[in-house]
Structure 1
Amino acid sequence: MLKKLCATLLIASLPSIALAERDLDDVRSDTIDKNEWRLSKNDKRHNIKAYVKNEEGKAIRSFRVEALFDAPIEVIARIQGDVDSYMRWQFGALEVKLLKKVSDREFIYYLVHDAPIGTPDRDVILRTTIEPMTAKKPYIGVKVVALPDYLPDRPPYVRMEAENYSVKISPVGKDQTLLEAEGFIDPGGVAPSWAVNFAQGKGPYSNMMGMKRLAADPKIRDAKGPLPFTFFE
């Protein structure tokens, strides 16, 4: 019985192992020293492009993602400001909780990530700052920065040192919106580079797919209530 269980677990883990090995090969490739963006995913059907970049002197890559939504900018702003909805689109989210509404343009929240197999799950506290869209600045800016010391450690989770990124949300006509995000993570603790790079490469694309599903949800798309934060002036 034990042998059968072990065999089943091994077979189930093969896809993850294969993906991890492929990602590790990419890290070891000749492009490792090139400080330039490389297209890692081009989903023409869903209008999503994901990029990675090997920063000089670092084993962990940065990420960039671009996604075109068939939804007005107000819908995307509503998703960005609704922390309770993050469980529905954040990659590998196990727990999300709003900790503090600092102002109508700033909030702090807690997030637990499901880490790749063989590594401890991570938690992170994030401060989000909103730069509203104005007549002179025709886009919404969002900046997210980790606050690793904001709360005491919560074992068995490993506290992330960084999950820092910036977001630019721009209207494209009346009923489409372009979202561009760029940043990096530092998982804290001990984590192999392949595991970090795998999550960092897969996460942004998965997030965009999740947001697209929410943007198509009539409850969100047709919502008429006030936005939770100030995204427009």
Structure 2
Amino acid sequence: MSTQAFVKSIRFNCFSVIAFIAVSINAFADGGDWESQYSEDGLEVFTRAVEGAQVKAFKVQTVFDAPLQSVIAVIGDTENYPNWFHLCESYTFVEAPAAAGAYTSYYIVSAPWPLKDRDVYVKNRISQDAETYTVTIKSSGAADFAPVKKGYTRVPDVSAYWTFKPVDRNKTYVEFMGHGYPGGIIPVWIANMVVTDVPKKTFQNLRKVLTESRYDIANVSQKEPAFPNLKFPDSRVSLK
């Protein structure tokens, strides 16, 4: 590989690490129209311009062939995050979900050599609509939660917004929105390409993980839930 090609590769991968984890809630507010960038097998990825930023915001959405309880079980299964959360090396609950729905998580994102891996502390709040059973998770960075560990670069700011809505008792609509500020010298066209690619891979991985037997309702129901205050529809409940 030539030196020029190597540098381009590093820049590309560096952004792929940062773009997915450095997001801004402000970019999720009503703005311009979402433009479709990918649509296949029921998975859709959109982008749209953000005022004052060259890199676009993204939204990824799909309906998974899995009940809400199974999808939430994946979100609470921290040890399995590296198998679906693209670029995630490890994920843990530093403070477990409390009765108020608040919890703190810590995760490490892989970066290509010679860059340092990134680590992230995040404050999360999970809530649920009592009528529709829709679950939302809002996250914001907690960069000062603990000292930076040797060998890692701390991500200073991170926000995210997840939505999990049961379509019926066997299908769940999932949506994730984000906006990245990569920093450094990154060509805008490469940055906007990665904004589409990274969330797409994460949702493709999540679809595969949801077919694992550990997330069958029968198995999930027998385990202590990570988010004990959530309710899930059963045959006696009419979804709205």
- Encode CA deviations 1:21-73: one digit per residue, 9 max, x unaligned: xx9xxxxxxxxxx9442212112x2x211112221111332211101100111
Q: 1:128 aligns with which of 106, 124, 128?
A: 124
Query: In 2, distance between residues paired with 1:134 and 1:80?
Result: 20
Amino acid at match of 1:122: R
Aligned to 1:192: 186
The answer as to 2:139 corresponding to 1:139 is no
Native 8 Å contact 1:77 1:231 kept in 2: no
The answer as to 2:89 corresponding to 1:91 is no
Q: 2:37 aligns with which of 37, 40, 57?
A: 40
- Matched residues, percent identical? 18
Amino acid at match of 1:37: W
- Encode CA deviations 1:87-143: one digit per residue, 9 max, x unaligned: 2111111222221115142221111112367754322111221112412x4311111
Aligned to 2:224: 226
Amino acid at match of 2:210: A
Native 8 Å contact 1:169 1:179 kept in 2: yes
The TM-score with structure 2 as length reference comes to 0.74
Aligned to 1:67: 62
Aligned pairs, how many?
209
Aligned to 2:46: 51
The answer as to 2:157 corresponding to 1:158 is no
Aligned to 1:3: none
Native 8 Å contact 2:67 2:171 kept in 1: yes
Aligned to 1:80: 75
CA gap 1:132/1:182 in 2 versus in 1, 3 angstroms: same
Structure 1 residue 231: deviation in Å? 2.4
Structure 2 gaps, min length 5: 17-30, 233-240
Amino acid at match of 1:61: K
For the aligned residues, what is the CA RMSD?
3.1
CA gap 1:214/1:201 in 2 versus in 1, 3 angstroms: same
Amino acid at match of 1:38: E
The TM-score with structure 1 as length reference comes to 0.76
Query: In 2, distance between residues paired with 1:193 and 1:117?
Result: 20
Q: 1:113 aligns with which of 92, 109, 113?
A: 109
Query: In 1, distance between residues paired with 2:174 and 2:63?
Result: 6
Structure 1 gaps, min length 5: 1-5, 24-33
The answer as to 2:168 corresponding to 1:167 is no
Amino acid at match of 2:202: N
Question: Higher RCO, 1 or 2 (CA under 8 Å, sep at least 6)?
Answer: 2
Aligned to 2:22: none
